Every structure is written in structure tokens, then in C-alpha cells.
Amino acid sequence: MNKRIAYLSKGGLSAIGSFALVAGLILSNSTSATAQAAYGSYLGGGPAFGVTNGDGLNEDSNTSGFFAVRYKFLKAPISLRTQVLIGGNGVAVVPTVSYDIPINWQADAYIGAGASIVRGDKTPIGNKGSFVIQPGIDYALPNTSLSLFTNAIISFDGYESDNGTAVSIQGGAGLRF
């Protein structure tokens, strides 16, 4: 447990700070209480930063790249999302279903639930498949087909050695379709 706290106090806080900064910038631009959720499904990618460590061998935090897909149902505040984290010594696939909460015409916050499917020893969300929660924010850039997004993946029971919780923060850009 002390290794996790030590890591969070070193580099992990900068990733959390970046997440908070992006969220603050998006939230500061809110204009209407009756806004609709940001439109558009997207395909994108970016970096993923593991912010926790497990107690076992090969359970150190890891940075990797990821691909993301969001399918937005236009008549309901629901999206299907999948992220594939590739890097280190493993691959993790994280499908979730999210509830989207409109912030303004370009942005929505969301909370998703799903599972992680992990192959290999070292991914940002641990080395064991588990139940996940995924909070995040999507922002559709006006007059473009681009979306910016950031989220966290909280993988309960994500480490084989101590059944600890693994946390990863992602951020990237996507092309809406």
C-alpha cells in the first residue's frame, strides 16, 4: 500500500491535476441548463497513465497508448464505449456502458460501468480482469469533426497479487462520425 501512495504523491498527482484542469476548462464554459449532450460517436486515441502499483512482480504502474470508440445513442443519454490499452507487456480491453450528463452544447460528463479484459502482465489498469467504473468528460470542438475526451478507469480487484484496485487516467482526441 505504501508503494501506491508514494507513486501517487510523485507522478500520479500530475496526471490527476491534468484531468482536473481539462474538466475545469470545459465546465467553465457551460452556458445553458437545458443543454443537450455532445453529439457524435467517435473513434480516437491517446496516452493512458497508470497511477497505482500492485504488490507483486510486474505490477508497477505503466504508461501506454490506447484506442477508444464511443457509440452515442441520439435519443437516450446512453453511450457504448470501448477502450483498448496497448503497451508494456500486455493489452487491456475495457467495454463499458455509460450514462451521459449534458454540461453544455459541446460537452458532457459521463459515468460508465463495465469490465476489463486483461492479457499480459503489465497494463495501466493492472494484470487481472475485473469490474470497472469509468468517469469522464467529452468535448466536441465547434465547427469541426473533432472531440476531445478524458476519463479514468477504476479497475476493482485489478491486481493478481493483492486484489488491489488499479487506476488509470486517459486523454485523447477522436474523429466524430
Q: What are the pLDDT digits (tens) for 77-134?
A: 999 999 999 987 889 999 999 999 999 989 999 999 999 999 987 889 988 999 999 9
Per-residue pLDDT, 18: 47
Domain region containing 120: 2-176
Per-residue pLDDT, 59: 66
Distance CA 175, CA 79 (A): 16
Whether the predicted pLDDT of 68 surpasses 60: yes
Q: Give 138-171 pLDDT, tens digit per residue.
A: 999 999 999 999 999 999 999 888 888 999 999 9
Residue 24 DSSP class: H
**Domain CATH code at residue 47:** 2.40.160.20
Whether the predicted pLDDT of 34 surpasses 90: no
SS3 22: helix
Task: Provide the b/e sequence for 66-98 (b: ≥16 CB within 10 Å).
Answer: bbbbbebeeeeeebbbebbbbbbebbbbbbbeb
Total of domains in the chain: 1
